[in-house]
């Protein structure tokens, strides 16, 4: 019973930190940075924040997936919306891997040339920026849905 309670608590905690971190960067850090700092400095600050948080995302995602599997198989979520929730968690993890391991590193490599005025590099950087914004936004939206559904449908380990 203690494993079930610990897994449930750790699951909600990891998912909350994952989604909350994404929301904080998207709705607090990025707008504030671009409001108070020059564009280049703000871009570096937000980019570095995303890269640092990207490592945490992978940790939170692994914890959420592992504990989600435990919750799935011991019936913490009841009989409804079990597999879609787990598939959504896998989707979130895949999206996180895509932008943390592919998009962000490419943007970091392109940034110096784009800032120096290389037209091709700037165009590619801008394209990747738009893509990263969409993918992170999709991950945040998916995370909010998963977190909300998880909290709303969770039952106590005693079954009530």
Percentage of the chain beyond pLDDT 90 is 64
Domain ranges for the chain, please list them: 2-153
pTM: 0.86
Q: What is the DSSP string of the chain?
A: -HHHHHHHHHHHHHHHHHHHHHHHIIIIIHHHHHHHS-HHHHHHHHHHHHHHHHHHHHHHHHHHHHHHHHHHHHTTT-SSSHHHHHHHHHHHHHHHHHIIIIIHHHHHHHHHHHHTT-HHHHHHHHHHHHHHHHHHHHHHHHHHHHHHHHHHH---TT--
Q: What is the pLDDT of residue 71?
A: 79
Interval 138-159: pLDDT, tens: 999 999 998 888 777 766 555 5
């Amino acid at each position: 019973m203690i494993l079930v309670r610990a897994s449930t608590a750790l699951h909600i905690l990891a998912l909350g930190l994952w989604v909350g971190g994404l929301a904080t960067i998207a709705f607090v850090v990025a707008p504030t940075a671009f409001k108070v700092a020059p564009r280049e400095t703000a871009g570096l600050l937000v980019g570095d924040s995303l890269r640092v948080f990207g490592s945490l995302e992978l940790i939170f995602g692994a914890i959420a997936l592992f504990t989600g599997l435990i919750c799935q198989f011991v019936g913490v979520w009841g009989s409804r919306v079990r597999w879609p929730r787990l598939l959504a968690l896998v989707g979130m993890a895949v999206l996180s891997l895509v932008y943390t391991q592919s998009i962000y590193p490419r943007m970091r490599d392109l940034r110096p040339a784009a800032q120096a005025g290389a037209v091709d590099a700037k165009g590619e950087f801008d394209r990747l920026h738009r893509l990263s914004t969409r993918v992170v936004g999709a991950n945040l939206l998916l995370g909010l849905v998963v977190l909300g559904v998880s909290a709303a449908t969770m039952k106590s380990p005693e079954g009530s």
